[in-house]
Amino acid sequence: MQLDMHYYGTYAMARAAGLKKEVCETIATAAQFVDDHAEKESVEFRDGARLDVEATAHHTINVKNLDREDQRQIWVPFHFLPGNEGDSYTQRLVCKKDSEIAQEVIKFNLSLLDQPFALPLVGITAHVYADTFSHYGFSGVSSRANKIVNDSIEFHSLDPKIEEYIKDKAKEFESNYPKEGGFFGILHSPVYTFN
């Protein structure tokens, strides 16, 4: 899920809900920004104060994806919200569609609508909630359970032109990032690994 859903899909749903254009733009921008904000930044003020900003994403092949602390700070809360189901820590980290935790996050964040940061928070919440569907079954920490075997992907009832387009994009990706199936595939970063 990228710009098509995190920005345009969020914007379209907000407009369909009757929100004003400017409000929808703020919400959709915040939803997309979660994927786009890949650097930690600090803002220094003249009076000596500083505002530290945490990244909410890393690009797919960034070595920081292998850092367990970054996985906990970035992938788990913003992209792979734990479903909190199962007996082990690893099982409880697996992202679940529309989980009880996701519902609680939505409920809590909607209670803050009177705050000045409400609209960006709605966008961030929309991103995290959408990712419970697109990332379900995976966790935001390095795990062999996150591995995808290309041959296991099946297309059902897709227009042949769309299926061909997807397969061509997969070949292009493999050509551009040959290491994804090698070194990075062995380490099983929290991002989907292809062999």
30-86 confidence digits (pLDDT tens) = 999 888 877 777 778 889 888 777 777 766 656 666 677 777 777 788 889 999 999
Answer whether 141's CB lies under 8 Å from 71's CB: yes
Answer whether 126's CB lies under 8 Å from 119's CB: no
146-179 confidence digits (pLDDT tens) = 777 766 777 788 888 998 898 888 888 777 766 5
CA separation for the pair 3, 28 (Å, rounded): 10
Closest by Cα among 32, 52, 67 to 140: 67
Report the percentage of the chain scoring pLDDT > 90. Answer: 39
Is 181 a residue whose pLDDT tops 80?
Answer: no
